[in-house]
Structure 1
Amino acid sequence: FENPFLLSSAPPTESESNITRAFEAGWGGVVTKTIGLHPVVNVYGAKAKFMRTTPDDGNVSMKKRPGAALHSSWNWELISDKTLEWWAPRIRRIKEAFPNKVLIASIMAGSGNDKELRHWQELAETAQGEGADGLELNFSCPHMDRRDMGSNIGKDQGLCSVVTEAVKEVAKVPVWCKLTPATADIVIEAAACFRGGADAIVSSNTFPSIPLIDPETLEFEINVDGLVSSGGLGGPAILPLALAKMAQLTKAFPDKSFSGIGGVSDFNQAASYFLLGCGTVQVCTAAMLDQAVGPNVIKRLLSGLDKFIEAHAKDGWKSIEDFRGIRRDRIVLQSEIRRPDTADYHSGYETVEG
């Protein structure tokens, strides 16, 4: 990577023109919007909106109000509505124009039978054949109806392993698995991906959620004909949640590779992911609000990284590798945190003798 900052698979990476602008702006890598064999038809109307909060009362709403600060993004947009045949020549042209940048193809298919596993392989073979530097398997989209697609794969360790293994059979480039945060123990699914041969884990995608109900109209703030379905929450609101998931992963697999995502708009947030053990960080919401591809966001990230390393020059730091993961071991069990009056741990239950 030219630098460790990537645009994540999302609306900012849905077209050749956007990806071109992103690379020209300075992003080290781009993950395409998820490509499938069967183009989707999205819902009528808005696919994404931003929620903001007012400082005086903490009210969160999609309604635009003066003085409100960004709280989060919410979307129910599906994968790319373009065909694999549409994407293939564009991947090739992008790589020809930017040979030193990293272009990762996000792909997704069903996983209910051997035919659908072959779909994953077809997507992988085409993307890498056109020059993609890596593959990101979408096990995390929170609004797929089928039980064997998107986040429903990411909740099933068996499917995680089987799909990853199928892709690795044909892959000649690194394979990343993007996991859903909506699982009881993300370490279990990550372990399954690694068993299947994954080269890295990406976390977190958006968190499953629904929009708020307007108390005046009694309608959901975003809806079609009054109806809603599950969507994904992203942006600043999910940062602590996404960091908790990443901490679980990097502590469980300290020698593996991770790409962190969720709530990043400048280096202050990105630093937490690196300090927990990530090698790269991905951005979506902040970029969407900055000319669609985040030219000012990447400037802040690169400037912040340079200043951070410069501030720690006395420690001998010259790159991310010098501080990557140095804080993950400070995340411990509650019982290991010092108490004010006694070294003994008491947490509301009877201590078992012996």
Structure 2
Amino acid sequence: MLNEFKKLKEEYPDRILIASIMEEYNKDAWEELIERVEETGVDAFEVNFSCPHGMPERKMGAAVGQDCALLEEVCGWINAKATIPVWAKMTPNITDITQPARVALRSGCEGVAAINTIMSVMGINLDTLRPEPCVEGYSTPGGYSSKAVHPIALGKVMNIAKMMKSEFNIDEYSLSGIGGVETGGDAAEFILLGANSVQVCTGVMMHGYGLVKKLCSELKDFMRKHNFSSIEEFRGLSLPYFTTHTDLVRRQKEAIQQRKAIKQGLQSDKDWTGDGFVKETESMVSN
């Protein structure tokens, strides 16, 4: 992989190359990995604190991202050693994803990426009674990805974006959205929720690298439709429209009252006249 990084930078010196790295809970191992990868000329690191396939018994991947104290320590090692920007990749397999995101940013990371795959069991073979996928009769929970996780990823990115906007100088940090991106519309949704960039993995695995051109073309179509000339014009544009359940109830109640006032229909049963039955009935329908 190190040779591939070098070759890519030689062939495309004007392009940004980000290396996604993961290591066990060992300071010396992390420092050696960072040093060796930096020598290839990569422009930044995405540190994988989120992979459910990272061996938890060795404190790798999601095992670190789910433990804020451990995450803070490892981020400290990495940011003290790295001379290029560092992004931390977040795991969705946690109750509140803003907690590790906050720790990563406060520990020196310049951005966060979300989400990685969701811990799951694919199924059980009802003939053999063994879990699937099966390796010599055994399995282990793995990561669920693709379009099925897209709504979950949007929710996690929204939570992180709102946290970053309220607690950090949003212009100094970045957020990368990941999860079920297969169309330009999928990418636009992440950007509307505050993402600076969007990543694609399973989509390319399923449809090939040609998907990227299609995705970019569809994203440009979306921008033309709304007369956006740059990503920044619509980044985070949908965030203000998220509120609380209590506020939604209040807003709906006020809207119903306004519609009833406009209809000038019945406000209660005592106003029933019997004339204009259809209009009077419609005036009492709340929604």
TM over 0.5: yes
- Tell me the C-alpha RMSD between the 2 structures: 1.6
* Correspondence 1:207 to 2:124: no
Question: Following the alignment from structure 1 to structure 2, what is the Cα–Cα distance between the partners of residues 158 and 333?
Answer: 30
* Correspondence 1:99 to 2:13: yes
Give the corresponding residue for 1:130: 40
Q: Which runs of 5+ in 2 are unaligned?
A: 255-287
How big is the shift at 1:338? 3.6
Give the corresponding residue for 1:172: 83
Question: Following the alignment from structure 2 to structure 1, what is the Cα–Cα distance between the partners of residues 51 and 88?
Answer: 12
How big is the shift at 1:239? 0.5
Structure-to-structure mapping, 1:189-268, within 5 angstroms:
189-254=100-165, 255=170, 256-268=173-185
How big is the shift at 1:89? 2.6
Question: Following the alignment from structure 2 to structure 1, what is the Cα–Cα distance between the partners of residues 246 and 142?
Answer: 36
**Amino acid in the other structure paired with 2:106:** R
Q: Percent same amino acid at aligned positions?
A: 37
Give the corresponding residue for 2:284: none
In the alignment, which of 220, 223, 242 is matched to residue 306 of structure 1? 220
Give the corresponding residue for 2:264: none
Query: When you count helix as a share of all residues, which structure comes out higher?
Result: 2
**Amino acid in the other structure paired with 2:209:** P
Query: When you count strand as a share of all residues, which structure comes out higher?
Result: 1
> SS at 1:253's partner residue?
helix
User: Against the structure 1 CA distance between its residues 218 and 165, is the aligned structure 2 distance closer, same or farther, given a 3 Å change threshold?
Assistant: same
Is contact 2:56–2:62 with CA below 8 Å preserved after alignment?
no
Q: Deviations over 1:217-252 (max 9, x none)?
A: 534342112211010000011001111111110000
Give the corresponding residue for 2:52: 142
**Amino acid in the other structure paired with 2:174:** S
Question: Following the alignment from structure 2 to structure 1, what is the Cα–Cα distance between the partners of residues 223 and 78?
Answer: 37
How big is the shift at 1:306? 1.4
How big is the shift at 1:146? 1.6
Would you identify which runs of 4 or more consecutive aligned residues in structure 1 move more than 4 Å? Answer: none
> SS at 2:113's partner residue?
strand
Give the corresponding residue for 2:205: 288
In the alignment, which of 231, 239, 253 is matched to residue 328 of structure 1? 239
Question: Following the alignment from structure 1 to structure 2, what is the Cα–Cα distance between the partners of residues 219 and 148?
Answer: 27
Question: Following the alignment from structure 1 to structure 2, what is the Cα–Cα distance between the partners of residues 339 and 199?
Answer: 38
In the alignment, which of 180, 196, 218 is matched to residue 279 of structure 1? 196
How big is the shift at 1:177? 0.3
Give the corresponding residue for 1:269: 186
How big is the shift at 1:118? 2.4
Is contact 2:50–2:116 with CA below 8 Å preserved after alignment?
yes
How many residues of Structure 1 are paired with residues of Structure 2 in the alignment? Answer: 247
User: Against the structure 1 CA distance between its residues 334 and 132, is the aligned structure 2 distance closer, same or farther, given a 3 Å change threshold?
Assistant: same
How big is the shift at 1:339? 5.0
**Amino acid in the other structure paired with 1:286:** G
**Amino acid in the other structure paired with 2:12:** F
Question: Following the alignment from structure 2 to structure 1, what is the Cα–Cα distance between the partners of residues 4 and 205?
Answer: 21
User: Against the structure 1 CA distance between its residues 126 and 147, is the aligned structure 2 distance closer, same or farther, given a 3 Å change threshold?
Assistant: closer
> SS at 1:243's partner residue?
helix
Q: Name which one, 1 or 2, has greater alpha-carbon Rg.
A: 2
Greater mean deviation of Cα atoms: 229-238 or 301-310 = 301-310
> SS at 2:199's partner residue?
strand
Q: Deviations over 1:306-336 (max 9, x none)?
A: 11121122xxx21111100011121111111
> SS at 2:78's partner residue?
helix
Is contact 1:107–1:120 with CA below 8 Å preserved after alignment?
no
**Amino acid in the other structure paired with 2:33:** L
How big is the shift at 1:214? 3.2
Is contact 1:210–1:231 with CA below 8 Å preserved after alignment?
yes
Question: Following the alignment from structure 2 to structure 1, what is the Cα–Cα distance between the partners of residues 74 and 251?
Answer: 49
Question: Following the alignment from structure 2 to structure 1, what is the Cα–Cα distance between the partners of residues 129 and 21?
Answer: 38
Structure-to-structure mapping, 1:50-129, within 5 angstroms:
87-111=1-25, 116-129=26-39
Give the corresponding residue for 1:156: 67
> SS at 1:289's partner residue?
helix
How big is the shift at 1:303? 0.4
